[in-house]
């Protein structure tokens, strides 16, 4: 089979894996207050592969779900929207950490069977 078919399947797999993990990553980074563009550069440096077109809608979605709260800072020359975990967001992050550990152990169990 072709190399590109393999790469295509792997790429699709990675896209699907990001569903869920993107939320985890963003929640961990917003335990302390941070604005969108700053978070974007941090996540780019950490090689998450996230783009602006993905991050900003995700921030808004998480805020809509009540996990984040935001406030505008217009004191600088450029207005910036700062985000931070809400109380619900903090609880969700605690639970997600536990769920991730369970899932990760399960995946390690299954992948331990790979010949």
Closest CA to 22 of 52, 57, 48, 56: 48
Question: Of 36 and 43, which CB lies nearer to a second copy in the complex structure?
Answer: 43
Min CB(96)–a second copy separation in Å: 6
The site map against DNA for 44-83 (x = CB under 7 A) is: -----xxxxxx-xxxxxx--------------xxxxxxx-
Member of 59, 65, 75, 79 binding a second copy (CB under 8 A):
65
Q: Give the burial string for 91-109 (b: 16+ CB within 10 Å, else e).
A: ebbeebeeeeeeeeeeeee
- Please give the sequence-ordered ranges of beta strands (E in DSSP) within 60-113, or none if there are none: 68-73, 80-85
Positions in the binding site for DNA (CB under 7 A): 12, 15-16, 18-20, 22-23, 35-38, 40-41, 49-54, 56-61, 76-82
């Amino acid at each position: 089979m072709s190399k590109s078919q393999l790469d295509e399947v792997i790429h699709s797999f990675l896209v699907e894996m990001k569903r869920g993990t993107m939320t985890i990553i963003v929640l961990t980074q917003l335990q302390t207050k941070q604005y969108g563009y700053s978070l974007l550069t941090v996540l780019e440096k950490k090689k998450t592969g996230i783009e602006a077109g993905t991050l900003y809608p995700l921030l808004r979605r998480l805020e809509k779900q009540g996990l984040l709260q935001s406030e505008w800072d217009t004191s600088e020359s450029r207005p910036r929207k700062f985000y931070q975990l809400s109380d619900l967001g903090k609880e969700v992050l605690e639970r997600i950490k536990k769920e991730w550990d369970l899932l990760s152990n399960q995946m390690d169990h299954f992948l331990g069977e790979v010949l």
